């Protein structure tokens, strides 16, 4: 049981030691590597986005073709990126009239647009895309009148005149009556009318609907573009420093020189040391060593306790 506890404790210390390494910055990978003709210089280019951290660019020495290369400079430059694409923008306007002349007066032939992601351009109206739809309807009410004639009446009596009539599906009410004499007779030497025509006027209301306006939609099409400065280019310059020969082999009496050839040293003022790449491994080793030492100490103490108890 005690051995299991010691192993578990050792595992915890090892995980805590490896934690900083696991959470280290993500490594950036070059988009191009160019070596000079004489091999004295290697340039590694990194194209990073705004979300990328340049701390992930490797800066440590490396060996290639038997030579050691060290970082002498890290250049930074913003690289403008030209973006262009076809874009269609739909516009909507309202018109009081439906005829195409009135509608086109509301739609210019060309129009400048800016997209949501910042691209701009001048777009052209597509006549085939123009669509006209009724926006809505309203109602209007007005008073209407009509007349009816009732001839050959024996007297001017409204009893024979209808008080309401039906006209075009609407009910109309009697409003006024005028009388006309159709025939006269002589009574005691006086001319008296004995036949009449009633001219009746009826009124009512008429309700009609009408279009309140028109919705017009049309498409504008063309190219939109912009120059974006959201890419950053880093160029890591490594210079050749020291030749690293292979380990000599015993080949009888053959004498193979083992002294390294010293190349000119790079300019020290342009060297940028990243201490994180040295301190992080040392911290990992120290923490792991401390964990192992503590585990051995606990194990030794446990064994000593068992011997004393016996």
Q: CA-to-CA distance for 73 and 43, rounded, in angstroms? A: 10
Which one-letter DSSP state was computed for residue 268?
G
Q: CA-to-CA distance for 108 and 101, rounded, in angstroms? A: 12
User: Who wins on pLDDT, 224 or 6?
Assistant: 224
Please report, for the chain, the start and end positions of each structural domain, with discontinuous segments joined by +: 2-80+231-302, 81-228
Looking at residue 263, its pLDDT comes to: 45
Beta strands in 25-169 (DSSP E): 32-35, 41-48, 62-64, 67-78, 81-95, 110-114, 120-153, 164-167
Looking at residue 70, its pLDDT comes to: 95
Mean pLDDT confidence for 221-239:
90
Using one digit for the tens of pLDDT, what is the confidence trace for 84-138? 999 999 999 999 999 999 999 999 999 999 999 889 999 999 999 999 999 988 8
Mean of the per-residue pLDDT values of the chain: 78
Which residues are CB-neighbours of 91 under 8 A, at least 6 positions away?
Answer: 107, 111, 217, 218, 219, 220
Q: CA-to-CA distance for 57 and 74, rounded, in angstroms? A: 10
Question: Which helix H or strand E contains 237, and what residues bound it?
Answer: strand 232-243
Can you say whether residue 14 is alpha, beta or left, with left for phi > 0 and alpha for psi between -120 and 50 degrees?
Answer: alpha
User: Who wins on pLDDT, 13 or 211?
Assistant: 211
Report whether 127 contacts 217 (CB < 8 A): no
Least confident segment among 69-73, 229-233, 259-263: 259-263
Question: Which helix H or strand E contains 286, and what residues bound it?
Answer: helix 276-309
pTM listed for this prediction = 0.42
Looking at residue 15, its pLDDT comes to: 41
Looking at residue 160, its pLDDT comes to: 83
Q: CA-to-CA distance for 107 and 91, rounded, in angstroms? A: 9
Using one digit for the tens of pLDDT, what is the confidence trace for 154-209? 888 888 899 999 988 889 999 999 998 877 666 565 656 678 899 999 999 988 88
């Amino acid at each position: 049981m005690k051995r299991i506890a010691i192993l578990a404790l050792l595992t915890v210390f090892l995980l805590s030691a490896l934690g900083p390494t696991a959470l280290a910055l993500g490594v950036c990978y070059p988009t191009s590597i160019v070596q000079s003709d004489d091999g004295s210089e290697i340039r590694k280019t990194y194209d990073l986005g705004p979300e990328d951290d340049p701390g992930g660019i490797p800066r440590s020495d490396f060996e290639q073709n038997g030579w050691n290369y060290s970082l002498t400079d890290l250049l930074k430059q913003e690289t403008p990126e030209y973006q262009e694409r076809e874009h269609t923008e739909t516009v909507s306007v309202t018109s009081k009239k439906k005829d195409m002349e009135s509608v086109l007066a509301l739609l210019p032939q060309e129009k400048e647009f800016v997209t949501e992601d910042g691209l701009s351009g001048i777009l052209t109206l597509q006549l085939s895309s123009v669509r006209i739809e009724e926006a809505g309807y309203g109602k209007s009410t007005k008073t209407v009148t009509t007349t009816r004639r009732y001839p050959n009446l024996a007297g001017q009596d409204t009893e024979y005149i209808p008080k309401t009539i039906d006209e075009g599906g609407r009910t109309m009410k009697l409003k006024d009556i005028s009388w006309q004499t159709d025939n006269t007779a002589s009574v005691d030497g006086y001319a008296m009318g004995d036949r009449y025509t009633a001219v009746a006027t009826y009124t009512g209301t008429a309700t009609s609907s009408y279009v309140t306006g028109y919705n017009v939609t049309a498409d504008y099409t063309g190219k939109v573009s912009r120059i974006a400065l959201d890419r950053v280019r880093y160029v890591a310059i490594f210079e050749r420093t020291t030749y690293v020969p292979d380990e000599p082999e015993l080949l009888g009496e053959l004498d193979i020189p083992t002294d390294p050839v010293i190349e000119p040293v790079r300019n020290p003022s342009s060297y940028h040391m990243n201490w994180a790449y040295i301190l992080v491994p040392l911290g990992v080793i120290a923490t792991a060593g401390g964990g192992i030492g503590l585990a051995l100490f606990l194990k030794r103490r446990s064994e000593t306790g068992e011997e004393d108890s016996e």
